[in-house]
Amino acid sequence: MTEGEAQAYLSTFVSRETLDRLQIYVDMLVKWQKAINLVAPATLPDAWSRHIVDSAQIFPLAAKSSGKWLDMGSGGGFPGLVCAIIAAEKSPDLSFHFIESDLRKCAFLRDVARQVGIPINVMSRRIEDAPPQNADIISARALSDLSKLCTLSYRHLATDGQCLFLKGQSAPQEIDTAKESWQMSIKTHPSVTSDDGQIIEIKELRRV
């Protein structure tokens, strides 16, 4: 997917105003990347396809259009901050919360939200140390293997909550391993940005 194709893909379901907000995000990503490592440097020229669309593709899978969305290990804001920007237009009753232990990355998340004019809550702490969030939706990308993600999510997920995790070619193996310790209703969705990428959707998460 080229950068032009990425923006064309987004324009099919978001407004010009949302695209403009996402452009501000990309511009700030480039600026802040000079000081802190928010993404792999080699991916920066392809930010729209590698990061914006890669994150945006999970938004239509969200089971609820209101409630609490928790993004874990947020880093540079992928996928949560992209979804928060889209939600400002599509699902304004969703509230977005971010857990990130790096204070500099927390500052970046808050600065982007301020510049694009959306409300978010950023917790500067480890996921394991944060109080239970009772989140309706939990998202994460490039954080850990699926077994660890289930462990991290379990205490923060509402009883009827949903997890959306972006994964690569190791997804089938990670699912098999996670099922040894966890029971769950699980669906996989092909990525629009990578031939071997998948989105793992989990509901009814509980320990074996």
3-state secondary structure the chain: CCHHHHHHHHHCCCCHHHHHHHHHHHHHHHHHHCCCCCCCHHHHHHHHHHHHHHHHCCHHHCCCCEEEEEEECCCCCCCHHHHHHHHHHHCCEEEEEEECCCHHHHHHHHHHHHHHCCCCEEECCCHHHCCCCCEEEEEEECCCCHHHHHHHHHCCEEEEEEEEEEECCCHHHHHHHHCCCEEEEEEEEECCCCCCCEEEEEEEEEEC
- Global confidence as pTM: 0.96
Q: Average pLDDT of 177-185?
A: 97
| Residue-wise pLDDT tens digits, 98-150 | 999 999 999 999 999 999 999 999 999 999 999 999 999 999 998 999 999 99
Rounded Cα gap, residues 58 and 163, in angstroms: 10
pLDDT above 90 (res 68): yes
pLDDT above 90 (res 15): yes
163 in Cβ contact with 200 (< 8 Å)? yes
Closest CA to 169 of 185, 153, 188, 152: 188
pLDDT at 107: 98
122 phi and psi, to 5 degrees? -115, 125
| Residue-wise pLDDT tens digits, 41-55 | 999 999 999 999 999
Delineate the domains of the chain, giving CATH numbers in brackets. 3-207 (3.40.50.150)
pLDDT above 90 (res 1): no
Rounded Cα gap, residues 164 and 60, in angstroms: 11
171 pLDDT tier (thresholds 50, 70, 90)? very high
pLDDT above 90 (res 57): yes
